């Protein structure tokens, strides 16, 4: 098991985070904090992922504003801090707040670095709910004796959304956009290399239209071959040529594996219906490059989730 005292630090200067506006729940009372702290401890035998699953954040409610912020300066960061505090810059926002023309201070409540030893998850929830409530209560003092408050946000990803909150048609729309989006990156000769639910943001507009945004290009590779610097290898994969998802997203390539929780329909049948018009555009050379080998046919795809 992992040693939680040596979890690698998750926040670095120049990182860009996509966050979603969030309405926190009511502040946790101190009596609840003391009671839980004396009865609940963290099982150090569990992995960070297992701890997170056992200690989900308090729900609150999600807002409709998505913001990309860039970490540009450390103010108070590291282990055993009540919050990770950075100077950040808003890179873009789906509305006018927060502003993009000034730097701001962001406090990130992350239980893995929190100094409330008895239950760091509870400590992070307590601090977050109390600070947001205080800023809201003191709205007439913002910008004078206390900083101006631009709202509370959560690091949001589709992995934390419940597939049951979306109809089958909506989930199919989401997957179609993911396939189209990844394919557009590939047409520009970029392989994402880490396309999974936590790297896809799902937005619902006022008209209830769904839109996805693919994020986190940290593991992406510019090039299509295993060795993009080798022009001979790279040219084999037809750089700049659009390749139909009928080839690259074929069920036997298992590219959809990370999204199985969202897929309760026969993937290959659906794919062939969605992209049937691509058949006439696929060349013999492309089929040879992305052929289905006998050994792939011997591996039976897992059933839908």
- Which of 113, 93, 111, 94 minimizes the C-alpha distance to 102? 93
Whether 102 is covered by a domain: the verdict is yes
Encode pLDDT of 38-68 as tens digits: 444 555 666 665 676 677 777 788 888 888 8
Q: Are 105 and 220 in a shared domain?
A: no
pLDDT exceeds cutoff 90 at 117: no
Q: Are 180 and 274 in a shared domain?
A: yes
pLDDT of residue 1: 31
pLDDT of residue 178: 95
* H or E segment and range at residue 300: none
What one-character-per-residue DSSP string does 24-90 give?
A: --SPPPHHHHHHHHHH----TTS-HHHHHHHSPPP--EEEEEEEEEEEEEEEE-SSS-SSEEEEEEE
Q: Are 182 and 278 in a shared domain?
A: yes
Per DSSP, the three-state class of 293 is coil
How does the average pLDDT of the chain come out, rounded? 83
pLDDT of residue 5: 46
Q: Which domain holds residue 200?
A: 163-289
Q: Are 30 and 97 in a shared domain?
A: yes
pLDDT exceeds cutoff 70 at 35: no
Whether 269 is covered by a domain: the verdict is yes
pTM of the model: 0.55
- Residue pair 110/124 in contact (Cβ under 8 Å)? The answer is yes
Which residues touch 218 (CB under 8 Å, ≥6 apart)? 194
- Residue pair 212/200 in contact (Cβ under 8 Å)? The answer is yes
154: left (phi over 0), alpha (psi -120 to 50) or beta: beta
> 28-37, 74-83, 139-148, 254-263 — which is least confidently predicted?
28-37
Whether 251 is covered by a domain: the verdict is yes
Tokens of 175: 């997957």
Neighbours of 132 (CB within 10 A): 19
Whether 167 is covered by a domain: the verdict is yes
Q: Are 45 and 118 in a shared domain?
A: yes
Q: Pick from 130, 155, 180: which residue ends a domain? A: 155
pLDDT band at 129 (very low <50, low <70, confident <90, very high): very high
Q: Are 131 and 205 in a shared domain?
A: no
pLDDT of residue 250: 95
Q: What domain count does the chain have?
A: 2
Q: Are 219 and 104 in a shared domain?
A: no
pLDDT band at 122 (very low <50, low <70, confident <90, very high): confident
Neighbours of 191 (CB within 10 A): 18
Q: Are 45 and 143 in a shared domain?
A: yes
């Amino acid at each position: 098991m992992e040693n939680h005292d040596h979890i690698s630090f998750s926040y670095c200067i120049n990182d860009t985070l996509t966050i979603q506006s969030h309405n926190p729940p009511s502040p946790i009372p101190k009596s609840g904090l003391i009671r839980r702290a004396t009865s609940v401890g963290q099982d150090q035998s569990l992995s960070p992922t297992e701890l997170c699953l056992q200690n989900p954040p308090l729900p609150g409610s999600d807002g409709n504003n998505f913001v990309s912020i860039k970490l540009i300066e450390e103010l108070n960061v590291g282990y055993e801090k009540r919050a990770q505090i950075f100077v950040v810059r808003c890179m873009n926002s789906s509305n006018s707040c927060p502003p993009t023309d000034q730097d701001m201070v962001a406090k990130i409540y992350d239980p893995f670095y929190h100094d409330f030893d008895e239950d760091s998850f509870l400590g992070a929830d307590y601090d977050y709910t109390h600070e947001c409530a205080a800023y809201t209560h003191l709205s007439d003092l913002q910008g004078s004796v206390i900083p101006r408050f631009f709202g509370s946000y959560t690091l949001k990803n589709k992995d934390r959304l419940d597939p049951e909150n979306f109809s089958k048609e909506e989930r199919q729309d989401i997957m179609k956009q993911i396939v189209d989006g990844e394919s557009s990156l590939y047409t520009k000769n970029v392989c994402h290399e880490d396309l999974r639910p936590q790297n896809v943001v799902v937005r619902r507009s006022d008209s209830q239209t769904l839109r996805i945004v693919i994020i986190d290009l940290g593991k992406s590779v510019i090039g299509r071959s295993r060795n993009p610097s080798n022009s001979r290898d790279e040219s084999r994969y037809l750089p700049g040529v659009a390749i139909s998802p009928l080839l690259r997203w074929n069920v036997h390539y298992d590219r959809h594996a990370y999204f199985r929780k969202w897929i309760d329909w026969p993937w290959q049948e659906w794919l062939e219906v969605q992209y049937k018009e691509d058949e006439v555009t696929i060349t013999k050379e492309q089929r040879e490059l992305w052929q289905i080998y006998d050994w792939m046919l011997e591996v039976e795809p897992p059933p839908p989730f």
